[in-house]
Chain A
Amino acid sequence: MAEHHSSYVPKTGFERWLDARLPIVRLMHDSAVSYPVPRNLNYFWTFGGILMFMLVSQIVTGIVLVMHYTPHVDHAFQSVEHIMRDVNYGWLMRYMHANGASMFFIAVYIHIFRGMYYGSYKAPREVLWILGVVIFLLMMATAFLGYVLPWGQMSFWGATVITNLFSAIPVVGETIVVWLWGGYSVDNPTLNRFFSLHYLLPFMIFGVVILHVWALHHVGQNNPSGVEVKNYKKDTVPFTPYATVKDLFAMVCFMIFFAWFVFYHPNFLGHADNYIPADPLKTPAHIVPEWYFLPFYGILRAIPDKLGGVVAMFASIAILAFLPWLDTSKVRSGKYRPWFKFAFWTFVVVSVLLGYTGSQPTDKVVLAIGGRTVMDMVGFAQILTAIYFAYFLVALPLLGLIEKPKALPASIADSVLGPAGSGHIAGAHAAPPKH
């Protein structure tokens, strides 16, 4: 499929003049109006647009917050309260930004799991997928840095725990940690550099998002059947108005969900401890990261060895980038793979349970028989970690070889209309293919 004809026709003299010099209107037209979209996409395909909205929302609210925030250990906490109390709609900006981070992750996890279920990472979408993993990593870094800025107890101690992970690196670990801190503990220099990087990274995310969308528009969208577009007229609809209106509807539904937290439950997703100003001399009873990091935190703590834990945690994210080559199945969509479905849902449940282990004290008893502890939280997390990695390293490579997939529809149109009804689509003409 790939390249398709541009159907843009400049209407005015100015448009013709501009088109010959900088075809930007043509680019917009081709990627947001005439771009052919598989007609069988379900609502899970709206999360890309929702994520774009979240990114813009975070950047806009963030820029306003920076106008009133002071990155200094003596003033950061106070300046956040100043925003909440004295800045017009400051409470709205801050609650949108803080809850927006969680919404961003809810949307991105749905987006990632959708890609995994429908095999969106498979050829020819490997680079598209890897760019997505890069965005995910940048998001995690940005969220972590941002959580430090209010300089509450959880900010300070979260920063201490996470930066200390780098001390596990042999030989140079300690040096690296001192370099990250800009001193011998988490202090004002740390807060300042975290603030600087927290402002920088979203724009890097924006850059990679552009590459991500470019790659997407080059190879075309995957779809629930996993079958590639064969006939543009029958299998696709033009992005505008079909996808535009559907994406908008989904986006507004997501905003309702978002608004529920911002206006009615703004502190639900945060930690009460972060309303206590940072105190380097007082460690909170439980240092718990934000919910979106919990599965990875669970993996980190599952490995008794510090370096091993850090390696496992980073590996659990990095392994996503190798998905296109770990999955050996020729069938793209999980819809037609009965055994894969089982493995996938096991993986989802295991990821959630890993998050649960990450939120609990390590010595909490999970299973006791006759008063004797058989398994504590660490033991439980170890089993889950093993299953997590087995999904990538055992299930995906093997299933492709031994599984017998169900029959695929002949085309996208067939999957919607049935083999008999795949006639013409009245009034809908996506750009025809070049070849």
Chain B
Amino acid sequence: MTTSSRFLLAAFALTGFAALAQPALAAGGAEQPPRQKWTFSGPFGTFDRAQLQRGFKVYREVCASCHGLEKLSFRNLSQPGGPGFTDGQVRTLATEYKVMDGPNEAGEMFERPARPSDRFPKPFPNPEAAKAANNGAVPPDFSVIAKARTYERGFPFYLFDIVTQYQEQGVDYITALLLGYEEPPKGVTVEAGLHWNRYFPGNKIAMGNPLVAVFDDAGKPHDAGFYTDGTPVTREQVARDVTAFLMWAAEPKMEERKQTGTKVMLWLILLAGLLYLTKKRIWSRLEGAH
């Protein structure tokens, strides 16, 4: 390649990318969430099974009363690349839920214990009921929430993200949000039914601090045995665990995707190398070829 065509190539690459804009979440007064370390980041990232199991416990005992997980079935919990529950555990777990089925032969709907193939039941029968129970706000479903939240990286950082593969904006934000409840700054009034959060866009969030279900005001767990696998029960740990679980819920095929990616990449790079050598060889038949 000549110098000018190399320059052209570089310029085109820039053209393509400088125009990329990440969605702009209203950043009104909210801080950028701190970066967390996740086992699932990077090209070889995998979920930490134990963390997903702990996160599921947090979801179930803290979040599930308001937030649905309607795109997931119980059976997903034992699928490869997930929390790694056994089929038996999932069957037992499912029976603890009641789902509506029917109509039966008499034409009536009936309740029965859930089966692994059932989806997680919704916490509210309809959005109106959800509103009535939550000060007029509908708690969002959690199935893809980890991909539906982000914060603005700004130029030029989103360009670096292409190379570093940093894409954990959503989970970093959710963790920060869970830990971001605090007293409002002096002189700021927070209306009834709203709460002050350092990381929420606009800072005033309808959801109360969910971690009070696990911790008292001093940050001490109500139940020191909340986790059964010996993991210390701290606010940070609980926030990170449930966030990791939400990431898996939003992207249950992530491990399969990244592992397929490794094979595809190796194959493509090998093929490209062979094609390059073939091309060189064929073009060398020409006089003055470069």
Verify if B190 is at the interface (C-beta below 8 Å from A): no
Q: How many residues of B contact A (CB 8 A)?
A: 65
Q: Which of B47-55, B103-111, B146-154 contacts A (4 or more CB under 8 A)?
A: B146-154
Q: Which of A179-187, A206-214, A288-296, A366-374 contacts B (4 or more CB under 8 A)?
A: A288-296
Verify if B253 is at the interface (C-beta below 8 Å from A): yes
Report which of B9, B14, B21, B253 forms a contact with A359, defined as CB distance below 8 A.
B21
Verify if B161 is at the interface (C-beta below 8 Å from A): yes
Over the window 342-374 of chain A, the binary record of Cβ atoms lying under 8 Å from chain B Cβ atoms (1 yes, 0 no) is 000100100110011011110000000000000
Q: Chain B residues near A348: list those with CB within 8 A.
A: 11, 15
Verify if B222 is at the interface (C-beta below 8 Å from A): no
**B19→A42 contact, CB < 8 A:** no
Q: Which of B177-185, B206-214, B233-241, B260-268 contacts A (4 or more CB under 8 A)?
A: B260-268
Verify if A110 is at the interface (C-beta below 8 Å from B): yes
Within 8 A of A (CB), among B45-87: 71-72, 76
Verify if B37 is at the interface (C-beta below 8 Å from A): no
Alpha-carbon distance A291/B278, docked complex (angstroms): 36
Number of inter-chain CB pairs below 8 Å: 171
**A110→B4 contact, CB < 8 A:** no
**A355→B287 contact, CB < 8 A:** no
Report which of A85, A241, A253 forms a contact with B272, defined as CB distance below 8 A.
A253
| Contact residues of B: prevailing secondary structure | helix
Contact A352-B18, Cβ < 8 Å, known A259-B261, A268-B161, A428-B286: yes
Report which of A85, A95, A416, A426 forms a contact with B252, defined as CB distance below 8 A.
A85
Distance to closest chain B CB from A355 (angstroms): 3
**A416→B1 contact, CB < 8 A:** no
Alpha-carbon distance A248/B43, docked complex (angstroms): 26
Report which of B162, B264, B275 forms a contact with A249, defined as CB distance below 8 A.
B275
**A237→B167 contact, CB < 8 A:** no
Report which of B5, B71, B257, B258 forms a contact with A44, defined as CB distance below 8 A.
B5
Verify if B129 is at the interface (C-beta below 8 Å from A): no
**A271→B253 contact, CB < 8 A:** no
Alpha-carbon distance A288/B161, docked complex (angstroms): 20
Verify if B224 is at the interface (C-beta below 8 Å from A): no
Alpha-carbon distance A421/B290, docked complex (angstroms): 14
Report which of B76, B276, B282 forms a contact with A241, defined as CB distance below 8 A.
B282
Verify if A315 is at the interface (C-beta below 8 Å from B): no
**A91→B150 contact, CB < 8 A:** no
Q: Chain B residues near A106: list those with CB within 8 A.
A: 16
Q: How many residues of A contact B (CB 8 A)?
A: 72
Q: Which of A56-64, A163-171, A272-280, A302-310 contacts B (4 or more CB under 8 A)?
A: A272-280
**A356→B19 contact, CB < 8 A:** yes
Most buried by A among B1, B161, B257: B257
Q: Chain A residues near B2: list those with CB within 8 A.
A: 42
Distance to closest chain B CB from A70 (angstroms): 14
Distance to closest chain A CB from B22 (angstroms): 8
Alpha-carbon distance A20/B81, docked complex (angstroms): 59
Alpha-carbon distance A296/B274, docked complex (angstroms): 41
Alpha-carbon distance A361/B26, docked complex (angstroms): 10
Alpha-carbon distance A159/B127, docked complex (angstroms): 25
Most buried by A among B8, B170, B250, B261: B8
Distance to closest chain A CB from B283 (angstroms): 7
Verify if B133 is at the interface (C-beta below 8 Å from A): no
Q: Chain B residues near A416: list those with CB within 8 A.
A: 288
Alpha-carbon distance A356/B24, docked complex (angstroms): 13
**B71→A92 contact, CB < 8 A:** no
Q: Chain A residues near B89: list those with CB within 8 A.
A: none
Distance to closest chain A CB from B26 (angstroms): 4
Q: Chain B residues near A114: list those with CB within 8 A.
A: 8
Alpha-carbon distance A266/B261, docked complex (angstroms): 11
Verify if A172 is at the interface (C-beta below 8 Å from B): no
Verify if A81 is at the interface (C-beta below 8 Å from B): yes
Verify if B23 is at the interface (C-beta below 8 Å from A): yes
**B71→A78 contact, CB < 8 A:** yes
A selection of 10 A-B contacts at a CB cut-off of 8 Å is A42-B1, A81-B71, A85-B76, A259-B261, A259-B264, A262-B261, A272-B25, A276-B148, A360-B24, A426-B285
Given contacts A44-B8, A242-B282, A263-B43, 5 further A-B contacts (CB under 8 A): A106-B16, A264-B43, A276-B140, A291-B20, A335-B4
